[in-house]
Amino acid sequence: MNHKNDELLTVYEVAATLNLSAGTIRAWLLSRKLAAVRLGRAVRIPASELERLIAEGMTPARARR
């Protein structure tokens, strides 16, 4: 999260990007699986954090036989 111009996304934007519910994203925030910036009651997720989550979840394709 050291990007100077890191875009901040809403819970709904992250949910739409991952095709998940907003509740799932909130659960990940509560369990600290996903980092966020809190500004009062507003919660924003850095785009770099979303990229990290996707990269960690990727598995290499299996070679064809």
Q: Three-state SS string across 2-63, please?
A: CCCCCCEECHHHHHHHHCCCHHHHHHHHHCCCCCCEEECCEEEEEHHHHHHHHHHHCCCCCC
Per-residue pLDDT of the chain (65 residues; tens, 9 = 90+): 455 668 999 999 999 999 999 999 999 999 999 999 999 999 999 999 999 999 998 887 787 77
pTM above 0.95, yes or no: no
Strand 37-39 versus strand 42-46 pairing type? antiparallel
Give the start-to-end residue ranges of the domains of the chain.
Answer: 8-51
